[in-house]
Amino acid sequence: MTACVRVAAVGDVHLDADVLGRYRPALEHLAGKADLLLLAGDLTRHGTPEEARCVAQEFGGLAVPVVAILGNHDYHGDQQDEVAAVLRDAGLTVLECSGTVVHCDDTRVGVAGTKGFGGGFAGACASEFGEPEMKAFTRHGRELATRFGECLAALDCDVRISLTHYSPVPDTLLGEPLEIYPFLGSYQLAQAIDSAPGVALAVHGHAHAGSERGTTPGGVPVRNVAHPVIKQAYNVYQLSVPAALTPA
């Protein structure tokens, strides 16, 4: 069994025709550096199929599997299903409250993904109280986190990875205005991650002015891979395959 898995990740590439080709030169060498690539949402600017075709051109046909989720920008045109279809036609796996298992040699790498939603963090979070709009806002985040957590826990794999657009922790929002934290993530995503067995890595985007590194209350490493944060085509994280799974 593979001793470690190399996970490349980037989010918030916000592609349109004018930035086509920004990432591709670095991606051509990806196979020697990573076993799979995660795209953490906000792949387009306004969520149009035309922009999605730019994403397909940039991230399609790579030598490693590509697993993606959509971000809030990819929903803006109310054409998220068409956007996802364009990406799937290009060979990308697109998740939403669903999971997939990628075989890296003989190691099964499980990825569960959701866009997620806001709501805030401990001591400063929205609650399902008051106006219907407030209840709907809070309920949306709770329902996504619940369904996502079930998918994450159900993955039959050797290495388990969480892929969200919104952040599960405030740590990786450091640098963003405190006032907008409730629109950047939710503690409910961290609860879902910490409830699943042995999550090795939680990747997210969305917080362009945030920080790269954080940790869930349960100790899972969190990485904000928004392109404006990592400032390169992708970051690569090496995950150890649990010792019990490696041959003696």
Return the H-helix or E-strand segment holding 143: helix 132-154
User: 86 in helix, strand or coil?
Assistant: helix
Return the H-helix or E-strand segment holding 4: strand 4-10
- Looking at residues 45 to 74 of the shown chain, list those that interact with Fe ion (rule: CB under 5 A): 71-72
End-to-end, the C-alpha distance of the chain in Å comes to: 10
Pairing of strands 98-104, 66-69: unpaired
Residue 71 or 118 with smaller CB distance to Fe ion: 71
Q: Take residue 224 and report the two structure tokens written for it.
A: 């904000």
Residue 72 or 100 with smaller CB distance to Fe ion: 72
Residue 42 or 51 with smaller CB distance to Fe ion: 42
CA 71 to chain centre: 9
Residues pairing with 83 in the sheet: none
Residue 53 or 206 with smaller CB distance to Fe ion: 206
* Residue appearing with tokens 């490696």: 246
Smallest gap from residue 142 Cβ to Fe ion (A): 19
Smallest gap from residue 185 Cβ to Fe ion (A): 10
Binding of residue 42 to Fe ion (CB under 5 A) = yes
Q: Take residue 4 and report the two structure tokens written for it.
A: 């470690």
Smallest gap from residue 248 Cβ to Fe ion (A): 45
Residue 42 or 176 with smaller CB distance to Fe ion: 42
**Comparing C-alpha atoms, which of 76, 82, 19 is closest to residue 49?**
82
Q: How many residues bind Fe ion (CB under 5 A)?
A: 5
Select the residue whose beta carbon is closest to Fe ion and give its number.
42
Smallest gap from residue 69 Cβ to Fe ion (A): 11
- Looking at residues 153 to 212 of the shown chain, list those that interact with Fe ion (rule: CB under 5 A): 206
- Looking at residues 9 to 38 of the shown chain, list those that interact with Fe ion (rule: CB under 5 A): 12
User: 245 in helix, strand or coil?
Assistant: helix
Smallest gap from residue 241 Cβ to Fe ion (A): 32
Q: Where does this chain bind Fe ion (CB under 5 A)?
A: 12, 42, 71-72, 206
